[in-house]
Amino acid sequence: MHVRFLVAGDTALAVEFGDRIERALSERVLRLSAAVRASATPGVLETVPTYRSLMVHYDPLATDSAQLVAAIEKLLDSTREVAQETRLWRLPASYAAAHAPDLEAVAERTGFSTGEVVRLHADTCFHVYMIGFVPGFPYMGDLPASLVLPRREDPRVKVPAGSIAIAGTQTAVYPIESPGGWHLIGATPIRLFDARSARPSLLRPGDQVRFEPVGASDYAAICAAVEAGDYQVCCETVRA
């Protein structure tokens, strides 16, 4: 597919691969992001992968748009499809009513029982497309087609931290309390973002995530362990 370079002022350049939410596009974005970072192209400050494009932020005193386009074109030629290793996270999740204010409504609207909605969600291995909205907020997909719903008509002013939510083809975890219009179907005790850490976000674009249902007593125990700082989130390396 044709790659477009979109000028975003004199400090950023968007490299656009398409205009859909699609795994194949995301893989290309992530490959280019890794290649740009590895290349140490002068003037590049950081790269931000999104669903279908890579935002390259640069210092206009160290490079310019034309030089950057030329450098990235070269990298596009050299980035081939190679099997990459990715991280698979298993996040404990409670789908209990207390943590899932919208689960009943989602079940009703999709024609499933609440148990079936949970099973469909927990049986899916999600891909982290991008992180945005607030620090550490992962946009993950794809949700089974039978669970796809538009956002709530009435967004909440406050969504509790840890809420697991769905909207469209996506699922997410709210890392901090924030306003939100997604349907809340569960919660995880895991902290997705810690500004005191040098690597503040648990997840990175390109990671995989599975939600593992836990009962009330396990959930409470994990909460306590997270609070005490001695909970290790399960993470393994898999071939993408």
Partner 1 sequence: MQALEVVAPGPHTTVQDLGRIGFQDVGVPASGALDRVSLRLANALVGNRPGAPALEMLLQGPTLKVLADSVRVALVGCSAGIEIRSGSGRSVPAGRSVRLTRGEIFRVGALGDSVCAYLAIEGGPDVPQALGSASTYVRGCIGGLHGRRFRKLDVLPLVRGAADVRPERMLPRPFDLELDQPVRVVLGPQADYFTDEAVHTFLSSEYTVSTQADRMGYRLEGPALAHAKGYNIVSDGIVSGAVQVPGSGRPIVLMVDNQTTGGYPKIATVISADIPVVGRRRPGRAIRFLAVEVHEAERLRRAQEAALQQETDAIRTFE
Residues of the shown chain interacting with partner 1 in the complex, contacts defined by CB under 8 A: 6-12, 14, 16, 19-21, 33, 45-55, 57, 60-61, 64-66, 130-137, 139, 176, 193, 195-196, 198, 200-201, 203-205
**Distances in whole angstroms, Cα of residue 130 to Cα of each of 1, 35, 88, 90:** 21, 17, 15, 18
C-beta of 6 vs 240, nearer to partner 1:
6
Min dist CB 226 to partner 1, Å, is 18
C-beta of 95 vs 174, nearer to partner 1:
174
C-beta of 193 vs 211, nearer to partner 1:
193
Helix (H) or strand (E) holding 165: strand 163-167
Min dist CB 230 to partner 1, Å, is 24
What 3-state class would DSSP assign to 46? strand
Q: Phi and psi dihedrals of 165, rounded to 5?
A: -135, 155
Min dist CB 152 to partner 1, Å, is 16
Which residue is listed with tokens 């999600």?
126
CA distance 150 to 170: 10
Q: Cβ distance 131 to 138 under 8 Å?
A: yes
Comparing C-alpha atoms, which of 60, 47, 85, 77 is closest to residue 10?
60
What 3-state class would DSSP assign to 97? helix
Kindly tell me the burial class for residue 80, based on how many C-beta atoms sit within 10 Å of its own C-beta (0-12, 13-18, 19 or more): exposed
Min dist CB 42 to partner 1, Å, is 14
C-beta of 56 vs 185, nearer to partner 1:
56
Min dist CB 35 to partner 1, Å, is 15
Min dist CB 135 to partner 1, Å, is 4
C-beta of 28 vs 100, nearer to partner 1:
28
C-beta of 41 vs 94, nearer to partner 1:
41
